[in-house]
Structure 1
Amino acid sequence: MSAVKVPAAVIQLCLVLLLLSSVSAAASTHYTFAVIPFYTPEKIWTLYSPFIDYLNKTTGDTWELKLYQNHEALINDICSGKLSLALLGPVPLGRVNAKCGVKPLLVALGNDGKPSYHSVILTNDPTVKSLSSLKNKEFGFLKGSTAAHILPAKMLGDAGVGMPDVRPVYLESQDRIITALMSGDVKAAGVKENLAARFSKKGLSVVATSPPLPNFALSASSSLPASVRQHLVSALVRIKPLNNSKDAKTVKNWDDEIKHGFMRPDKEYLPSVMKILTIFREIQHEN
């Protein structure tokens, strides 16, 4: 059988089409970002969509916001590579680091410019003046949350109030903890200080505040390409909302947890996270 001669023009056209399809495939690559569900999915969508818009404008990569209902699904997905990037508190970050080596890329700053925050225990009961007076009262928890479970349980324990001494009520987000406090369904609960501050003049009082905790961090799956990591870091470390009015305008619709800027984690950050993980494991054992 004689060979069929293919015109050079046809070969060139095929090569061009192949090149275009490769470019199109590369351009269609998108990366997913999620927030550990300390808010309701609706609130996360509202507060973090502007953040995604910023990444899409500044990194040269395509980002999408992905919502999760619980910690376990998010942890499994970032370890498997189904999720590219997540904003994680100390306990979930410690868990993914221990499970699959995920490390923090950037740490969020508080409104004081520091990479730390506090857990605050609130009550709606004016007779509650100390942690010890919470015995036999309904206490709201967000299971697995640093600020809304692990540190409150630790603080209660240090005050001589073990988990069997309270009536735990497990809720699905810190928003719902606040709702339960406002409605009287629980007498006390722990939340992040930013959330506590919003309700300090609405009938809720502070019972106790934790020591400083390592703040939330943007943490990347091992599947996220190095170039994409660099684009992300460059886009976020250059904004200084606490010192620059233009940057403050850029982040005005972002969640309070990330609107004060980011920094690269120092050498003490991850060890401090793993200390919180140790407390988590102790609390889980007690439960």
Structure 2
Amino acid sequence: MPKIIPLFAALLLTLASIASAETLKFAPLPMEKPETVAGQWKPLLEYLQTALGIELDIDYSDSNEQVLDKFEAGKLDLAYLGPLPYLRLKDRFPAARPLVIFHESDGQPSYTCALVVAAESDLRLEQLTGRKIALTQPLSTCGFFSISGLLQQAGIRLEETRYRYLGPHDAVALAVAAGEFDAGGLKSAIARKYASLGLRIIAETAPMPGLALVANGTRVSPERIEAIRRALLAADEPTRKTWGDNIRHGLSAATDEDYAEARKLPYRAPIPDQGNF
């Protein structure tokens, strides 16, 4: 009996520890199908859970706007955001704190957006007036915001095309490859991922800050924010190789100052909620 009491006490302590573990809600961007997104993030979240003794729950939203609304309403602790969603959120919610920027496959802490056509198409940028263009979603960096800028280089307003929002980047890639749209806008890395299906890049934006992990400063303490940042930066290459394709290529510490150049772009300009056909 004397041996049972210490064992029982140890069990109670273990259960109490589990019950008191901090739980953080994390929102990825809906860039691909939900199951693909969850698979990308699961190993990284498990790494943080083990390293920090916390619980991390994925909160999936159907749109970037939903992610920002939940963040602003205090329903999220962490979110994975591109430059446009981050800048829009920071204007609305100054307590948003960037922790790290994820590098691209070339090791750079920046990425580009691309305008693609089917591989067999001979369309050029200046020939897209009146054509059907697939976009991701209104608050996607590679959506209306970037594709409008690319078309302006050829003297075309996006409103002079027929554009429609399809949601995830992979939906845009598949729709263009299937011939349902003449062109589409998406992240360049995802365009290259689907190149074998028959996609060709005809224009790319200038580099922008890479996608970042952003913390809610009203819900996550400065100490916890720094602990998460340190744990991610300390992850070695074998560990990172288990993470998803979009987040395994290295990281850099991030601050709001990293977005100084992006703020020079017209990120506050109105963006239509709906396509025009």
CA distance in 2, matches of 1:110, 1:142: 20
Other-structure match for 1:255: 244
Other-structure match for 2:216: 221
Deviations 1:26-70 (A, max 9, x none): 724300111121112121111111111111111222211111111
Q: Give 2:34's aligned amino acid.
A: P
Task: Tell me how far 1:170 sits from its aligned partner.
Answer: 1.2
Other-structure match for 2:259: 270
TM-score, normalised relative to structure 2: 0.85
Task: Tell me how far 1:236 sits from its aligned partner.
Answer: 0.7
Q: Give 1:256's aligned amino acid.
A: D
Task: Tell me how far 1:128 sits from its aligned partner.
Answer: 3.4
Other-structure match for 2:155: 160
Matches within 5 A, 1:91-106: 91-101=84-94, 102-106=96-100
Distance 1:125 1:111, change over 3 A: closer
Q: Classify the secondary structure of the residue corresponding to 1:281.
A: coil
Deviations 1:152-171 (A, max 9, x none): 11111221111222111210
Distance 1:104 1:78, change over 3 A: same
Task: Tell me how far 1:256 sits from its aligned partner.
Answer: 2.4
8 Å contact kept, 1:118–1:209: yes
Task: Tell me how far 1:24 sits from its aligned partner.
Answer: 5.0
8 Å contact kept, 2:150–2:205: yes
1:233 and 2:229 equivalent?
A: yes
Matches within 5 A, 1:142-157: 142-143=136-137, 144-157=139-152
1:44 and 2:37 equivalent?
A: yes
Task: Tell me how far 1:127 sits from its aligned partner.
Answer: 4.2
1:187 and 2:176 equivalent?
A: no
CA distance in 1, matches of 2:136, 2:127: 21
Deviations 1:129-152 (A, max 9, x none): 421111111100112211133111
Task: Tell me how far 1:110 sits from its aligned partner.
Answer: 1.7
CA distance in 2, matches of 1:150, 1:162: 12
Task: Tell me how far 1:233 sits from its aligned partner.
Answer: 0.7
Consecutive unaligned residues of structure 2, counting only runs of 5 or more, are 1-8
CA distance in 1, matches of 2:142, 2:99: 21
Equivalent position to 1:109, from 103, 119, 128 = 103
Other-structure match for 1:169: 164
CA RMSD of aligned residues (A): 2.5
Equivalent position to 1:73, from 66, 75, 80 = 66
CA distance in 1, matches of 2:201, 2:261: 25
1:55 and 2:43 equivalent?
A: no
8 Å contact kept, 1:128–1:207: no
Other-structure match for 1:33: 26
CA distance in 2, matches of 1:114, 1:106: 13
Other-structure match for 1:3: none
Other-structure match for 1:131: 125
1:203 and 2:178 equivalent?
A: no
Q: Classify the secondary structure of the residue corresponding to 2:101.
A: strand
More helix by share: 1
Equivalent position to 2:78, from 68, 80, 85 = 85
Other-structure match for 2:3: none
Task: Tell me how far 1:282 sits from its aligned partner.
Answer: 5.1
Q: Classify the secondary structure of the residue corresponding to 1:191.
A: strand
Q: Give 2:97's aligned amino acid.
A: K
Task: Tell me how far 1:199 sits from its aligned partner.
Answer: 2.3
CA distance in 2, matches of 1:90, 1:77: 18
Consecutive unaligned residues of structure 1, counting only runs of 5 or more, are 1-15, 240-246
Segments ≥4 residues shifted beyond 3 Å: 23-26, 125-129, 282-285
CA distance in 2, matches of 1:185, 1:118: 24
1:119 and 2:108 equivalent?
A: no
Number of residue pairs matched by the alignment? 261
Task: Tell me how far 1:263 sits from its aligned partner.
Answer: 0.9
Q: Give 1:173's aligned amino acid.
A: P
